[in-house]
Amino acid sequence: MNDVSPQRTVDPRFAQGAAYSQGRFVPMAEATISVLDFGFTRADSCYDVVHVKDGAFFRLPDHLARFAASMQKRRLAPPEDLAGMEAILHRVTWLTGLSDVYVAMVAIRGRPKPGLPRLIANCDNHFVAYALPWIDVLSPEIQARGGHLWIASIPRIPDASLDPTAKNYNWMDLNRGLMEAQDAGFDTTVLCDAEGLVTEGPGFNVFVVKGSTVSTSGHGVLQGITRKTVLELAPELGLTPRVGDITRAELEDADEVFLATTAGGVMPISRINTRITNNDSPGPISRRMKELYWAAHTRIQWRTPVRGDSIQE
């Protein structure tokens, strides 16, 4: 990893990450929340993740807009406004001194005020942010050979019970799917809903390629920013983007499958349960989309350079 600015000295305490916690900027190891916080005891929070590539955030306004919508849906209102949160994201990233960074923003319910009943209305919401050295959902080595995707027997939590468009930490169905995948020797998993329609995996959207059409599910999923980027880039490769229902059978019969996530970008799949695709390697459309996606990081309209002076100390 390269420094955002080779000319400055970086505090070594932040080499493994920087955080904004309880109103202070601290090394990642010092960031804490109370064990009584509803964010811990009830997963009552929402979050978003944006990445920094070559010293610039990718599609930061889109991530901030989605985070604001998630907070509204979950009725979370930390004291920092959105502009203040953006400045904090710049600062924690700057503190790491890294040019390729994984950056998270989290709104947490908080703990009930002393002496008051344990009700949501009695909690003071708070904001946490942190920046870490780059993280991939699937390692570069796995991406190079193509990921092995397990279709879980666990159904996805229904949209009516938990709105997946508000990015959240309620991952027990996804985690159970991951346990199945690990037990079967696979890299990761995707969940279908109770009707057998494909939804998403732990931290990523799923794309199915059939002919010149690239499809992704329209329900049971987070509306991913990488997903959005793929849909916008598809016509540049002569592909037709489609958002709609995808059956399990269509997933298993796909010409190609790839995953889309902020923490890894476009990640090709070479095995879907017992089926091997493209001679057990990434398919040509997946490879081209992956290349185009990373090349698009140089587009001015999607870059927000990291600012070291976002917050004066």
Same domain? 110 vs 165: no
Same domain? 261 vs 149: yes
Question: Residue 222 pLDDT > 80, yes or no?
Answer: yes
Q: How confident is the model over 193-198, as a mean pLDDT?
A: 97
Rounded distance between C-alpha atoms, residue 48 and residue 205, angstroms: 15
DSSP letter at 294? H
- Asked if residue 195 is part of any domain, the answer here is yes
Total domains present in the chain: 2
| Mean pLDDT across the chain | 95
Same domain? 53 vs 169: no
Identify the domain boundary among 135, 152, 170: 135
**69/312: higher pLDDT:** 69
Q: Which two tokens stand for residue 198?
A: 């494909």
Rounded distance between C-alpha atoms, residue 241 and residue 306, angstroms: 32
Determine the structural domain holding residue 68 and report its residue range: 12-135
Question: Residue 1 pLDDT > 50, yes or no?
Answer: no
Indicate the range of 2-16, 122-136, 237-251 predicted with least confidence.
Answer: 2-16
Instruction: Give the number of other Cβ atoms within 10 Å of residue 77's Cβ.
Output: 13
Three-class SS of residue 144? helix
pLDDT at residue 6, as a whole number: 47
